[in-house]
């Protein structure tokens, strides 16, 4: 007993358990690998690297098909190569363009006239960073003893996977467990010229020519983010909206975001769908479209057409039928343990039906799955109250329920919405617009008023909401929030000053930054 207590306190107890478990897995296994991961994105690699920590023999099969425009990339998945990372870098580049003008107002002797970015240089430095991350990822896999094969894996039967080597040789292997983590790719509309003449977010971050006047088709977060960084870099984007902006997000906040973009000169074609794209004799792109409200047709000429109409899961090459894995449309159906219809086959990340398509979700769910499979853990992924951010010039970040969701679940009489506009101190000197700087807390109406959702539009929204997300998951209440002393002067402190409710009808506009 004393030895057991000593092991527990020293941390060696965990190591002993892991060694015993790993040894039993290897000795009992009748398969080539304990785990095969299909896909080399965030979720798949997190699962693979976590599994080898517990002694599992792991192989990752990963291959990226070039886009119709010819774009291809290395290991790491969407986030690293054509998603979160290059998007954030382009976002930062556009914000720096604004900052140059603000610097003049703050007394810097900067010539802010005729400032324009060098698109090719920007693309080059962004791609160089991505390639460095690709290299570090490959080295990390090698150091952690995760076998990596650059090939598409597909099922022969529930425990057997086949793939082709670079030399064209067909190989097969067996696995005790399989994790499907192939993610998704952007959709193209079924119209003339869409594939031949348009690009997607898979292409824009390595696009060799300047985008120029750009039509962004789609008003989800990808479309809005692309339109905003293009505008910030000096180009002329137009957003085509089929129905509403930011479907699935809080409606009031989404409309605020669209209004902010309009104020900055971004054009919207509302309730409009594309009908066709063709190249003009001058090399431009002529887009025909239809307004579904008025049923009138129109057209316009652009330099670039970027499709941002959603994503599809990459299941077509997996031969899931041979394994008996059930799907819905192009996504894999899983239960609360990430298990598919076949008990030893799992899925994580964007390929899962009905779960948040976010990199941190994929990473954590992949790690937790590996611990359950190879370390005896019972901890499940909690998909509720996941924070997210839309990286527009004024960012929108949220966690928990939207106002509409709270009303639907609890009833309008059972919720209270605390809200307010605010004026960031740093906006005053350059006279930046704070018309759309706004935040709200959606809470229960009774007791200490448990907070159900937090929403914020303003500077560095992701940095603000990340900490509040942990508080919300821990049961944050309005009472606790209002008893928290804010850090002054910050925009995050505005959450600690939310005292006006929508129900009261009182104007939530402050007189100054300190009122």
Cα distances (angstroms) measured from residue 475 to each of 400, 417, 451, 468, 470? 11, 17, 7, 11, 9
**Residue 332 CB-half CA count within 13 A:** 32
* Cα–Cα distance measured from residue 220 to residue 224, given in angstroms and rounded to the nearest whole number: 6
Report the helix count and the strand count for the chain, using DSSP H and E.
14, 24
Q: Was 223 annotated as part of a binding site?
A: yes
* Cα–Cα distance measured from residue 109 to residue 119, given in angstroms and rounded to the nearest whole number: 25
Q: Was 265 annotated as part of a binding site?
A: no
Give the H or E element holding residue 515.
none
Residue 101 known to be catalytic: no
What is the Rg, in whole angstroms, of the alpha carbon atoms belonging to the chain? 25
Q: Was 310 annotated as part of a binding site?
A: yes
Supply 171's token pair: 């190989």
Distance in angstroms between the alpha carbons of the first and the last residue of the chain: 62
Q: Was 316 annotated as part of a binding site?
A: no
Q: Was 153 annotated as part of a binding site?
A: yes
Q: Was 17 annotated as part of a binding site?
A: no
Q: Buried (b) or exposed (e) across 362-395, using 16+ Cβ within 10 A? A: bbbbbbbbbbbbbbeeeeebeeeebbbbbbbbbb
Q: Where are the beta strands (DSSP E) in 381-462?
A: 388-390, 395-400, 415-421, 438-444, 451-458
Q: Was 328 annotated as part of a binding site?
A: no
Cα distances (angstroms) measured from residue 113 to each of 105, 230, 318, 487? 13, 19, 54, 36
Q: Was 354 annotated as part of a binding site?
A: no
Q: Was 163 annotated as part of a binding site?
A: no
Q: Was 234 annotated as part of a binding site?
A: no
User: Would you say 271 and 245 are in contact if contact means Cβ atoms under 8 Å apart?
Assistant: no
* Secondary structure letter of residue 494 according to DSSP: G
Q: Which of 101, 336, 436, 488 is catalytic?
A: 488
* Cα–Cα distance measured from residue 343 to residue 207, given in angstroms and rounded to the nearest whole number: 43
* Cα–Cα distance measured from residue 438 to residue 350, given in angstroms and rounded to the nearest whole number: 31
Contacts of 295 (CB under 8 A, 6+ apart): none
Catalytic (active-site) positions = 488
Q: What residue numbers does the annotated binding site for NAD(+) cover?
A: 218-225, 310
* Residues that constitute the known binding site for FAD: 88, 153, 350
């Amino acid at each position: 007993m004393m030895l057991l207590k000593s092991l527990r306190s020293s941390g060696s107890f965990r190591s002993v358990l892991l060694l015993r478990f790993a040894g039993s897995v290897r000795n009992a296994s009748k398969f080539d690998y304990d785990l095969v991961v299909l896909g080399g994105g965030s979720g798949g690699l997190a699962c693979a690297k976590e599994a080898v920590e517990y002694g599992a023999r792991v192989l990752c099969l990963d291959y990226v098909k070039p886009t119709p425009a010819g774009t291809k990339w290395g290991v790491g998945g969407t986030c690293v190569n054509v998603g979160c990372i290059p998007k954030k870098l382009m976002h930062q580049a556009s914000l720096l363009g604004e900052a140059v003008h603000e610097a003049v107002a703050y007394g810097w002797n900067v010539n802010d006239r005729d400032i324009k970015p060098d698109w090719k240089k920007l693309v080059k430095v962004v791609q160089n960073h991505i390639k460095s991350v690709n290299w570090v990822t490959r080295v990390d896999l090698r150091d952690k003893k995760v076998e990596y094969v650059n090939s598409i894996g597909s099922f022969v039967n529930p425990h057997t996977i086949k793939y082709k080597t670079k030399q064209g040789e067909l190989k097969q292997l067996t696995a005790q467990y399989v994790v499907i983590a192939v993610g998704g790719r952007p959709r193209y509309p079924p119209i003339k010229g869409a594939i031949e003449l348009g690009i997607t977010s898979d292409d824009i971050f390595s696009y060799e020519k300047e985008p120029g006047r750009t039509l962004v088709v789609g008003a989800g977060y990808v479309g809005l983010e692309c339109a905003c960084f293009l505008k910030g870099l000096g180009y002329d984007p137009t957003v085509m909206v089929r129905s509403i902006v930011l479907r699935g997000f809080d409606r009031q906040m989404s409309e605020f975001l669209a209004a902010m973009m309009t104020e900055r000169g971004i054009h919207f074609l509302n309730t409009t769908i594309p009908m066709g794209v063709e190249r003009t004799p001058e090399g431009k792109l002529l887009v025909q479209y239809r307004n579904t409200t008025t049923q009138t047709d129109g057209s316009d000429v652009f330099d670039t057409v970027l499709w941002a109409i959603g994503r599809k899961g990459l299941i077509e090459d997996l031969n899931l039928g041979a394994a008996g894995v059930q799907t819905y449309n192009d996504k894999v159906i899983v239960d609360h343990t990430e298990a598919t219809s076949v008990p030893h086959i799992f899925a994580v990340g964007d390929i899962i039906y009905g779960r948040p398509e976010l990199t941190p979700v994929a990473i954590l769910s992949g790690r937790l799955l590996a611990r359950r499979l190879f370390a005896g853990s019972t901890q499940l992924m909690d998909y509720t109250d996941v924070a997210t951010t839309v990286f527009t010039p004024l960012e929108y970040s949220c966690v928990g329920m939207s106002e509409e969701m709270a009303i639907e679940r609890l009833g309008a009489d059972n919720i209270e919405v605390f809200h307010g506009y605010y004026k960031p101190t740093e906006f005053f000197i350059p006279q930046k617009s704070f018309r759309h700087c706004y935040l709200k807390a959606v809470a229960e109406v009774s007791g200490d008023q448990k907070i159900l959702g937090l929403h914020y539009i303003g500077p560095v929204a992701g940095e603000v909401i990340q900490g509040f997300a942990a508080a919300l998951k821990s049961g944050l209440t309005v009472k606790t929030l209002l008893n928290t002393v804010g850090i002054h002067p910050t925009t995050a402190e505005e959450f600690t000053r939310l005292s006006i409710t929508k129900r009261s009808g009182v104007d939530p506009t402050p007189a100054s930054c300190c009122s």
